[in-house]
Structure 1
Amino acid sequence: MTILAADATGPDAQLLLDALSGALLRINGDSGRSSFDVEAATPRGGFYIARDGAGELLGCAALRPLDGVADSPVGELKRMYARPGSAGVGAALLAHVEAQARCFGYARLHLSTRVANRRAMAFYAKHGYAPVNAWGKYVGAAQSACLGKQL
Structure 2
Amino acid sequence: MAHKITECLCVYNLIPVTINPRSYVPVYQQLADILRNQIRSGDLAPGTDLPGEFKLAEQYAVGREAARKALAVLRSEGLVATRRGEGSYVRTPRERQRIELGAADKVTIRMPTPAERVELDIDEGVALVVLARRGTEEKLLPSDEVVITGKREAQKG
TM tier relative to shorter chain? 0.3 to 0.5
TM (norm. structure 2) is: 0.33
